[in-house]
Structure 1
Amino acid sequence: MRDGSLNLDDFEDLIERPDSGLRRDAEDRRSRTGLPSGALGRLDELGEWLAAAQASVPVRPVVNPRLVLFAGDHGVAGLDVSGHPAGTAARLVRSALDGESPGVVLARRLGVEVRVVDMAVDCPADELPPEVTRHRVRRSSGRLDVEDTLTAEEAERAFRAGMAVADEEADAGTDLVVLGDLSVGGTTAAGTLVAALCGTDASVVTGRGGAGIDDLAWMRKCAAIRDGLRRARPVQSDQLRLLATVGGADLTAMTGFLLQCAVRRTPVILDGVVTAACALVAQRVAFRAPDWWLAGQGNEEPALRKALDRMALEPLTGHGVAVGGGVGALLALPLVQAAAQLSAELPERDGDADAAGPGATDPAEDADAALDAT
């Protein structure tokens, strides 16, 4: 940012699209492998996307992915809109740190390192490791239906914290980020952001969240999003103020993280509705930023579908995973790694004979041989 000031307009100039020329080069290289066009399905598209993002043909294998989880409590959870009790994000964080959460179990299976970033967990900071809490802005974000979730100063601190985490990951050599959340009440904040930016009613974006809720809780959640929307709509053109009004510290940090990842040319796989809502806010800041992101999954969350449609991102998987914590995005990671490996290692073949495959011969030679035989 210029002169140390936070000016979101700067991202328009800082973020460039992945190199389209290299994407075409990757497509040309793929056409010389001898495999029929379309034989690898979406893996071809992913390989070309990676070539442009890495600025490398052939593609480099993805060898250092990282699961980054932003954590926080939301005051709106006190309205019983979540399957988790209000103020219990610390349990989710401890489960992740102990290696027991679904996302971390899957990350361990895939050989992916995990980083947890506490932005607004409602517990004393000394109950969690210092490397987890060092970016914390506050204990729990405010109740979005009746008050701002952050002050203007807290929103800037959270946004800058997300940027700092993105820089740290890029400097550490992370070549692909799997982004997820550990939040209680986060899907209510996400639904409010999506509804505000897509111009829809609360009922259109209200889902049942990763923890699952019954019909009465769904009605309470819908009412909270409706009330949050009344507060969000007047400020929706000012993205940082919008995040301060209804987003909370963890979603604000994730938005800064996504934008700075695009600046640093670090590809990101989005997980569920919370990450998609942050991506939608980030798109409003810099329209080229979504070119650096993949949608890891689609599920039944209506706000997720609406956000991905608005960004023209097609989910890589559709297993219906709603648990959060990066699980859906992690399930898509092997597809991305497979695309990278194929793009990197499939050999090019010279000429039509090679393209026809092993054992193929020239038809004219076959005809001559048949005549000689007679």
Structure 2
Amino acid sequence: MSKSLHSIVSAIKPLDLEAIEAASHHLDQLTKPPGSLGKLEDVAKQLAGMSGKTIPEIGKKAVIVMAADHGVCEEGVSAFPAEVTQQMVLNFCSGGAAVNVLARHTGADVICVDIGVNADIEHELLYSRKVRKGTNNMAKGPAMSEDEALQAIYVGIELVDELYAKGYTLFATGEMGIGNTTASSALLTVLADEEVVATVGRGTGIDDQRLLHKQAVIERAIALNAPDKTNPIDVLAKMGGLEIAGLTGVILGAAIHRCPVVIDGFISSAAALVASRIAPHSVSYMIASHQSQERGHERLLKAVGLSPMLQMDMRLGEGTGALLAFPIIEAAIKIMKEMATFASAGISQS
């Protein structure tokens, strides 16, 4: 691990146990049976532990959509051509994608980042942080160098620094990159020591024949690159994507600032897995939004140590599922702030 990354890992601290205990005590004084609000109470206590406050507050909200292309698309692993990545980036910036609709609905801002799109894109709302124009084909060699993977991680960390300074304190992970379920499945296969039959799904909707081909491509890439599963940066560089590395940085950056980061679907969860292997304490700052339809997502969440809030049968990505969790998180805080206690309401507790 590089010296600078080691310092970042050291900056991520465990949750504040005293704040969690105080939040738990407060929840038990509210006019309800103890624990009766289930996951809402769990979220409230987790947020207290992050912030160090019994009743935490949420500032501005952002979904960070990292976009990048994948060289492995040369192998025919996706139902869509690679050009769709750049086209969707412009759609995000124009406000026409599903993530934009749900962001408007939940009062969040969409931060679209070109971290590795294989094209020159210009838009006044686009955050241009390109590390390189797409990854190499992992079936022919490493997707990128370790230095490039680290550079992409730092992009994510620095972006959170920038947004935090502007008052953003609730983050969601989103992504766009044709071929990125292939990279994510490869990361899960290696880091969680799984078989490809359990980790590789249909992504954009490929048929049975192409699914078998996709599995074979990943097996070939793993055999060729021989990633070291004990070294998450090595695995990320050889098998991952620039947007996955960028989201890894977003997760680590949120944890450094003791802010919640809501994890979206399969690709975002692959970034969460990498982040968890780099900095185990970062898991405490993650909130899993939903379990997608993509094969392997349940295994991926378990490998990170997360339990999803929702089961919506979604498989779009972009941050769409994560945004649906924002109102639930805000509801947990409102319960803490606005619900009467037994004493204030004059209700007998026993």
Tell me which interval the TM-score lies in, with the shorter structure as reference length: over 0.9
**2:163 aligned to which of 163, 169, 188:** 169
- Alignment pair present for 1:65 and 2:71: no
Kindly state the Cα deviation for residue 131 of structure 1 after the two structures are TM-superposed: 5.8
**1:42 aligned to which of 39, 44, 53:** 39
**2:316 aligned to which of 315, 319, 323:** 323
**2:348 aligned to which of 353, 356, 359:** 356
Following superposition of structure 1 onto structure 2, how do residues 58-207 of structure 1 map, counting pairs within 5 Å? 58-60=55-57, 62-124=58-120, 127-129=121-123, 132-207=126-201
Kindly state the Cα deviation for residue 136 of structure 1 after the two structures are TM-superposed: 0.3
Kindly state the Cα deviation for residue 185 of structure 1 after the two structures are TM-superposed: 0.6
Distance in 2 between residues matched to 1:188 and 1:6, nearest whole Å: 30
Distance in 2 between residues matched to 1:6 and 1:87, nearest whole Å: 37
Distance in 2 between residues matched to 1:185 and 1:291, nearest whole Å: 29
Distance in 2 between residues matched to 1:43 and 1:153, nearest whole Å: 40
Q: Is the 8 A contact 1:265 1:292 kept in 2?
A: yes
Q: Which moved more, 1:273-282 or 1:224-233?
A: 224-233
Residues 106-159 of structure 1 deviation map (CA, whole Å, 9 limit, x = unaligned): 1112221110011111112xx322663531011111111112111233223212
Distance 1:224 1:6, change over 3 A: farther
Q: Is the 8 A contact 1:163 1:256 kept in 2?
A: yes
**1:18 aligned to which of 8, 12, 15:** 15
- Over alpha carbons, which structure has the higher Rg? 1
| Residue-pair matches, total | 350
Q: Is the 8 A contact 1:87 1:140 kept in 2?
A: no
1:52 alignment partner AA: G
**TM-score, structure 2 as length reference:** 0.94
Q: Name 2:243's counterpart in structure 1.
A: 250
Residues 159-188 of structure 1 deviation map (CA, whole Å, 9 limit, x = unaligned): 211111121122121111011101111111
Kindly state the Cα deviation for residue 277 of structure 1 after the two structures are TM-superposed: 0.7
Residues 245-264 of structure 1 deviation map (CA, whole Å, 9 limit, x = unaligned): 11122111211221122111
Distance in 2 between residues matched to 1:133 and 1:237, nearest whole Å: 33
Q: Which moved more, 1:130-139 or 1:33-42?
A: 130-139
2:98 alignment partner AA: P
- Residue segments in structure 1 that go unaligned for 5+ positions in a row: 363-374
Q: Name 2:291's counterpart in structure 1.
A: 298
Q: Name 1:367's counterpart in structure 2.
A: none
Kindly state the Cα deviation for residue 350 of structure 1 after the two structures are TM-superposed: 2.2
Distance 1:63 1:259, change over 3 A: closer
Distance in 2 between residues matched to 1:302 and 1:229, nearest whole Å: 19
Q: Name 1:226's counterpart in structure 2.
A: 219
Distance in 2 between residues matched to 1:280 and 1:103, nearest whole Å: 23
Distance in 2 between residues matched to 1:63 and 1:262, nearest whole Å: 16
Q: Which moved more, 1:147-156 or 1:195-204?
A: 147-156
**1:340 aligned to which of 321, 333, 339:** 333
Q: Which moved more, 1:230-239 or 1:33-42?
A: 230-239
Distance 1:317 1:356, change over 3 A: same
Q: Which moved more, 1:336-345 or 1:66-75?
A: 336-345
Kindly state the Cα deviation for residue 241 of structure 1 after the two structures are TM-superposed: 2.3
Distance in 2 between residues matched to 1:307 and 1:11, nearest whole Å: 24
Q: Is the 8 A contact 1:22 1:55 kept in 2?
A: yes
Q: Which moved more, 1:180-189 or 1:34-43?
A: 34-43
Kindly state the Cα deviation for residue 317 of structure 1 after the two structures are TM-superposed: 0.4
Distance in 2 between residues matched to 1:166 and 1:227, nearest whole Å: 36
Kindly state the Cα deviation for residue 38 of structure 1 after the two structures are TM-superposed: 2.7
**2:233 aligned to which of 229, 237, 240:** 240
1:23 alignment partner AA: I
Distance in 1 between residues matched to 2:50 and 2:341, nearest whole Å: 21
Residues 296-331 of structure 1 deviation map (CA, whole Å, 9 limit, x = unaligned): 100222332112112221001000110110111111
Distance in 2 between residues matched to 1:39 and 1:240, nearest whole Å: 42
